[in-house]
Amino acid sequence: MRIIAAVVLVTLFTMAAKRATLVPGRSQNIAEMALDFVRVNIAEEILGHSARKYLPMLTTMFFAILAFNITGVIPFLNIASTSLIAMPLVLALWTYLVYLSSGIKKFGVGGYLKNALFPPGIPVFLYILITPIEILQVFVFRPLTLALRLTANMIAGHLLLVLCFGASNFFFIHAAGAMKALSAVTLTAGLAFTLFEILVAGLQAYVFTLLTAVYINMAIEEEH
């Protein structure tokens, strides 16, 4: 299903890009709006003038995650690719490698580590506390939380939907008498959660991409 999502995503954008002209049409406007959202609200807002370098990565991430998330509410696909840990893990690994490598490229290995682990402007004795925390932050927590946040959200959403629709099914077919009426309630809840899942799909894509941008920014920034 992630292959289907990928193919659909790529086809949509390639079509929009192929027909792209100077004066945008309807589909091009939508594509540009979506791309501009990543470019302006994520890349340029966080990274400022170094946004251009990381823009392709952030854009790919945002739309890939969005596509993989949205499969969770599409009938017959019904499960988000990102609700399996593998995809978020790969994405987080990508972020991890990019922010480490761009930090090292900018400051050198020593410079980057000093910058990241011994943040300037803090009393020296606090480094006893700060440095272990930063080590865990930079090398373990950041990628792991990225992956887990996304996976957990998608799993939870999927469970909620399954629960609602499964309950509707059960109440409507197997339950006796007045209990059948409960199926209406659960079905309504299922509908509401489907809409909610669409929101979460966009939101999680946004959060993941935003955090990636933030981590990159922290790695290449001169001062914290």
Partner 1 sequence: MIDATTTIAVLAAGGDEVEGLDLFLPPEYDIIGSAIVLAFIAFFFYKKILPRFTEILDERTAKIEGGLNQAQAAQEEAERLIAEYKQLLSEARTEAGSIREGARTEASQILAEAQTKASAEAERILENASRQIEAERQAAAISLRNDVGTLATELASKIVGESLDDVARQSRVVERFLDDLEASTTTPAAKGK
Joined together, the tokens standing for residue 220 give 């290449």
Question: Minimal distance in Å, beta carbon 132 to partner 1?
Answer: 22
Q: Which residues contact 193 (CB under 8 A, 6 or more apart)?
A: 157, 160, 161, 164
- How long a stretch of residues is the chain? 224
Residue number, 91 or 213, with CB nearest to partner 1: 91
Q: Please state, in angstroms and rounded to a whole number, the distance separating the CA atoms of residues 145 and 8.
A: 28
Question: Minimal distance in Å, beta carbon 182 to partner 1?
Answer: 17
Question: Minimal distance in Å, beta carbon 145 to partner 1?
Answer: 14
Question: Minimal distance in Å, beta carbon 146 to partner 1?
Answer: 14
Residue number, 131 or 145, with CB nearest to partner 1: 145
Residues of this chain that interact with partner 1 (CB under 8 A) are 2-3, 6, 9-10, 13-14, 16-18, 20-22, 31-32, 35, 55-57, 59-60, 63-64, 67, 78-79, 81, 84-87, 89-91, 94, 158, 162, 165-166, 169
Residue number, 106 or 158, with CB nearest to partner 1: 158
**218 and 79 Cβ atoms separated by less than 8 Å:** no
Residue number, 5 or 100, with CB nearest to partner 1: 5
Measure Cα distances from 137 to 131, 142, 218 in Å: 9, 6, 12
Residue number, 16 or 218, with CB nearest to partner 1: 16
Q: Please state, in angstroms and rounded to a whole number, the distance separating the CA atoms of residues 88 and 102.
A: 21
Question: Minimal distance in Å, beta carbon 62 to partner 1?
Answer: 10
Question: Minimal distance in Å, beta carbon 93 to partner 1?
Answer: 9
Instruction: Name the phi and psi angles at 72, rounded to 5.
Output: -65, -25
Other beta carbons within 10 angstroms of residue 78's beta carbon come to 14
Residue number, 56 or 111, with CB nearest to partner 1: 56
Count H helices and E strands in the chain, helices first.
Answer: 8, 0
